[in-house]
Structure 1
Amino acid sequence: MTLTTARSLAARVAETACVSDRFILPDGRVLDSYFDEYRLAADPRLLRDVADAMAALVPEDAEVLAGIELGGVPLVVALSAATGLPTAFVRRLPKRYGSARQVEGADVEGRRVVLVDDVVRSGGQLLAMTRILRIAGAPVSDGLCVLERPCGGRLLLHGHGVTLRPLLTEADLPSGGAAP
């Protein structure tokens, strides 16, 4: 991707999905701006363009892409369409009825899985999903996201053998754009 294309995509992502409004994080902290992955997913052209750009981040030896509920699901489906790789979906908790599965879709056992999510802040959610997939027999060593916030996630993941590959970092967003 050229620098001009990357800047244009960052501007489109910021305009569409970076929102100035009150947002409560899972740990109770309150932000005055955030990244709204649902706005990105609701824009078919932007979702396609983000997936096409993220396709370049997928390691060559990847066998399965795994989307984290809920924000990673539309991204991983679009990325699967862009790469031709099969997709799995990872829940935070096993389904309480039916199959009672925590990992759905493509078989992950023994296959090189790349995790996909919308935003990485502390890295805790990506690490928890990595553990679930590793217990299921999937060697996970890479995580992709649309946006990385500098909140320690990269370091945490690196300490557990996961390389974070963000499409954008907070620094890539146009100045004045709301950050998650």
Structure 2
Amino acid sequence: MSDYTSRLARLLLELSYVEGEVTLTSGKKSDYYFDCKQTALHPEGGWLIANLFLEMLQGRDIAGVGGMTLGADPLVSAVSVLSYEKNCPLAAFIIRKKSKGHGTNQYLEGLKNFPSGSRVVLLEDVVTTGGTLLTSVERVRDAGLQVDDVLCVLDREEGGRQRLAQAGLNLGSIFTRAQLLAAGR
């Protein structure tokens, strides 16, 4: 395990991981909540996540990264900025939950940075069932881009990986819950 991974685990456990019964976006009950935005918006946390995602993206022939607002906003921004600094520039885009409703009425922001047919990877903070990601993939493909894979900070291991695989997508994660708890010790 890299120093980045162990340091990120400690930050995630300190800032983003809360034990206790909650209802998730999927409607499922859980014994913990994972609010990755708290860590992704922390200066070191965002930097660590971006570095680890860039390691996972190394060697892939992609034009950029994107994700559904709001959870992916700090992730795609940090990866895009750091990729430029590391001389492997990746553009970023954000997927709206609802179309703009005026002007171009688009779902994607940042689309002008991508020629039609560009290959991209979606980033997500936490994956539970994969439902939000499947909606995201549909919107990205409708906009003329090719989705290669999905990367997340935390895979809750509650069916999302399998659901994405059924749609032909691979899911890579920095952590599963068990890995996060073990790495944070």
Shared fold (TM-score, shorter chain, > 0.5): yes
The structural deviation recorded for 1:141 is 2.1
| 2:14 paired residue number | 15
How far residue 91 of structure 1 moved from its aligned partner, in angstroms, is 1.3
List runs of 5+ in structure 1 lacking aligned partners: none
* TM-score, normalising length: structure 1: 0.88
> For 1:136, which of 114, 139, 143 is the aligned residue?
143
Mean CA deviation greater in 132-141 or 68-77: 132-141
> Secondary structure of 2:148's match?
strand
Residue in 2 aligned with 1:76? 76
- How far residue 67 of structure 1 moved from its aligned partner, in angstroms, is 2.0
User: How far did residue 128 of structure 1 move?
Assistant: 1.1
Is 2:102 aligned against 1:120? Answer: no
TM-aligned CA deviation for residue 5 of structure 1: 4.2
Distance in 2 (alpha carbons) for counterparts of 1:45 and 1:26: 27
Map of 1:131-170 to 2, 5 A cutoff? 131-170=138-177
One-letter identity of the residue aligned with 2:100: K
Going from structure 1 to structure 2, the CA distance change for 1:96 and 1:24 (only over 3 Å counts) comes to farther
Aligned to 1:35: 34
User: What code does the residue aligned with 1:19 have?
Assistant: V
Instruction: Quote the sequence identity (%).
Output: 34
What CA deviation, in whole Å up to 9, does each residue of 1:95-131 have, x standing for no partner? 1234321011133421001101100111111111111
Opposite residue 160 of structure 1, the aligned amino acid is A
TM-score of the aligned structures, taking structure 2 as reference length? 0.86
Contact 1:80 1:87 in 2 (8 A): yes
Distance 1:42 1:85 in 2: 20
Deviation at 1:23, TM superposition (A): 3.0
Gapped regions of structure 2 (runs ≥ 5): 84-88
| 135-144 or 68-77: bigger deviation | 135-144
Code of the aligned partner of 2:51: D
Of structures 1 and 2, the one with the larger relative CO (CA 8 A, separation 6+) is 1
- Given the superposition, is the C-alpha separation of residues 14 and 94 from structure 1 closer, same or farther in structure 2, using an over 3 Å criterion? same
1:85-104 aligned within 5 A: 85-104=90-109
Tell me which moved more, 48-57 or 27-36: 27-36
Which piece of structure 1 moves more, 133-142 or 13-22? 13-22
- Runs of 4+ more than 3 Å apart: 2-5
Aligned-partner residue type, residue 170 of structure 1: R
| Structure 2: distance between partners of 1:29 and 1:163 | 23
Shift of 1:22: 4.5
Three-state SS of the structure 2 residue aligned to 1:174 is helix
Cα distance in structure 2, aligned partners of 1:86 and 1:42:
19
Tell me the matched-pair count.
Answer: 175
